């Protein structure tokens, strides 16, 4: 099987960006070794505010080494243990994101969103909220840990449960949209945003939709969206991401009935566009 030798790390691990210095940098992996290449190669996921992306394929030293033969093999995915997941469902006084929600929403709305999305609290990262990727089969595929600022709701440190457990990347289960488990309800249309935080907040304001999050702009892919088959879906991209997501619509149209909202693009001022506001910024 032929595949690209150098690929962006599919995990949720982030590193310091060479350009903006924020810990939002996704590095390239050499598929033939499973190891990271030089830390200058990668992409900052602050795609509007920073936009740093240096690919090894743009470097003449990598010419002729763009593909590699990799034996096709089945690697068993390691899901997050249910016991660990259950233990994390609580301790919300020490969860910065839940405390931030509590300052913006009434108590009953906060409780509903916690239960709906099965938000967890990290014991490893102080103040961290765990956003689990639960699939329709009941597997806990991933757990993204994010530490938010309690007062502003701005994102800080990011980590993953798999990384905390010392699990090798080759055993990471395939990516799924945050909130996939909610698709068991066949009666509601689906709305997709980028950030898990945005999906949670939008769900409290517009419960007539099932709100999902891609986790990153680049993970809006048909290969991760099999659970959307036959559904009516509306995309709500962040400011600055409209064109990228619009280009994905043909790919997704093979799975679901798809449309895209240009509401933010039409309403935003220059400051909001420069900062890459998303739907949650307006709702809050």
- Residue 282, pLDDT > 60, answer yes
Work out the percent of the chain whose per-residue pLDDT is above 90: 46
Using one digit for the tens of pLDDT, what is the confidence trace for 109-167?
Answer: 999 999 999 999 999 899 999 999 999 998 999 999 999 999 888 888 889 999 889 88
- Residue 98, pLDDT > 70, answer yes
- Indicate the SS3 state at residue 51: coil
- Indicate the SS3 state at residue 153: coil
Using one digit for the tens of pLDDT, what is the confidence trace for 46-88?
Answer: 777 777 888 888 776 665 455 544 444 567 889 999 999 999 9
Strands 23-30 and 35-36: antiparallel
- Distance CA(284)–CA(282), nearest Å, equals 5
Q: Where do the domains of the chain lie?
A: 2-62, 82-171, 180-283
Give the architecture (CATH level 2) of 180-283.
3-Layer(aba) Sandwich (3.40)
- Residue 2, pLDDT > 60, answer no
Q: What is the pTM of this model?
A: 0.74
Mapping DSSP onto H, E and C, the string for 205-266 reads: HCCCCEEEECCCHHHCCHHHCHHHCCCEEEECCCCCCHHHHHHCHHHHCCCCEEEECCHHHH
Query: Which burial class, exposed, middle or buried, applies to 63 when counting CB atoms under 10 A from its CB (0-12, 13-18, 19+)?
Result: exposed
- Distance CA(184)–CA(135), nearest Å, equals 10
pLDDT of 271 = 77
Residue 98 CA, distance from chain mean position: 18
């Amino acid at each position: 099987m032929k595949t690209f030798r150098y690929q962006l790390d599919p995990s949720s691990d982030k590193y310091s960006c060479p350009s903006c210095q924020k810990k939002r940098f996704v590095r390239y992996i050499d598929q033939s070794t499973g190891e990271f290449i030089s830390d200058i190669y990668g992409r900052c996921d602050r795609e509007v505010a920073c936009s740093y992306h240096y690919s090894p394929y743009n470097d003449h030293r990598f010419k002729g080494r763009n593909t590699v033969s990799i034996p096709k093999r089945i690697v068993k995915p390691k899901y997050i243990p249910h016991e660990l997941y259950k233990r994390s469902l609580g301790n919300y006084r020490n969860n910065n994101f839940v405390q931030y929600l509590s300052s913006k929403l009434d108590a009953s709305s906060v409780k509903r969103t916690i239960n709906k999305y099965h938000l967890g609290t990290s014991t490893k990262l102080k103040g961290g909220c765990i956003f689990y990727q639960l699939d329709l089969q009941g597997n806990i595929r991933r757990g993204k840990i994010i530490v938010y600022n309690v007062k502003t709701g701005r994102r800080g440190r990011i980590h993953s449960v798999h990384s905390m457990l010392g699990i090798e990347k080759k055993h990471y289960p395939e990516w799924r949209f945050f909130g996939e488990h909610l698709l068991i309800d066949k009666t509601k249309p689906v709305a997709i945003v980028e950030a898990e935080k945005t999906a949670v907040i939008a769900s409290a304001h517009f419960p007539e939709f099932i709100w999902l999050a891609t986790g990153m702009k680049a993970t809006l892919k048909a290969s991760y969206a099999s659970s959307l088959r036959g559904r009516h879906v509306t995309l709500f991209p962040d400011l600055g991401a409209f064109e990228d997501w619009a280009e994905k619509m043909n790919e997704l149209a093979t799975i679901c009935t798809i449309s895209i909202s240009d509401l933010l693009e039409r309403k935003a001022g220059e400051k909001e566009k420069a900062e890459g506001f998303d739907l949650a910024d307006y709702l809050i």
